[in-house]
Amino acid sequence: MGGTDASGVTDIELRRIPGGQVTLHDARREVQRSVEIEPFEIGVFPITEEQFAEILPVPSRHPRRPAADLSWLRAVHFCNAASEWEGLDPVYRFDGEHVEWDTTAEGYRLPTEAEWELACRAGSTGPHYAPLAEAAWTGADGVTSPQDVGGKLPNLDGLFDMLGNVWEWCWDLLDPARYDDYRVFRGGGFADDSWSVRASVRRGGGPRMHHEDVGLRVARGAFDAAGQAQGWSAQADRERAAFDGPVPFGWTPMRGARR
């Protein structure tokens, strides 16, 4: 997965996604919307423990396993650190724990959930891009931890582990009216059942929360418009935060919630 440059740093291998249209579902407001996505790049694999440890001062016990048990804040700090390491303009601006995305910067970043879903589906329209047992590490495999990346079938764009193994943090807020600053993660984890490991399932957690089955996959791509890009906009976040509709059946209360 990637090579190693002269300084010993493992490369982050990216695949260019040509863009297209993806339909996102909002269960809270019972609406769906179609989003046009411009071309962008996304990681062929989730970021591994080895890659994470080379950029930030953390131990790597299993170099080829996805980096996991890390918070959203840690994930965006990794993106900026990786950008700086490679001489790219950092994407994120910090004011304490408040984070803003400079959409004009070309460094590493978390994908928007629209980008993530488009990349995951790779043209497929069903819940999985291949038979689930062949595409994803899930609870059906009986494993008790993340597995080395690349051990299951890739999708048609050559992306591995988009489903199963570890959930992956995205940029977007989950539901700011109900869950405040919770961020989305996508894809399902190694212990989840088949219902959770689908291209359309969205869950999330607070920026400081960390879980043994949540990691990250990086993206790259800069855009001209400020405050909006790739299915996300700051204005839409403000409108969603003001929404005062009912909570769908089965949603977890925010206090103490993981997802």
Averaged pLDDT in 10-residue chunks for the chain of 259 residues: 46 95 79 92 98 92 97 98 96 96 97 98 94 97 98 98 98 93 97 95 96 98 94 92 70 51
What is the predicted pLDDT for the residue at 149? 98
- Whether 109 contacts 91, CB under 8 Å: yes
What is the predicted pLDDT for the residue at 6? 39
User: Is this structure's pTM higher than 0.85?
Assistant: yes
What is the predicted pLDDT for the residue at 3? 46
- DSSP letter (8 states) at residue 83: H
Which backbone phi and psi does 202 adopt, to 5 degrees? -125, 130
What is the predicted pLDDT for the residue at 94? 97
- Whether 125 contacts 153, CB under 8 Å: no
Residue ranges in the chain assigned as alpha helix (H): 49-55, 72-85, 113-121, 132-135, 176-179, 234-241
Q: Please enumerate, as own/partner, the contacts of 223-226 that have beta carbons within 8 Å and a separation of 24 or more.
A: 223/38, 223/103, 223/104, 224/103, 224/104, 225/103, 226/103, 226/104
Q: For the chain, which domains are there?
A: 14-221 (3.90.1580.10)
Q: Which residue has the tokens 């935060």?
A: 241
What is the predicted pLDDT for the residue at 92? 98
Interior CA angle at 227 toward 237 and 28, to 5°?
Answer: 15
Both tokens assigned to 75: 């994930």
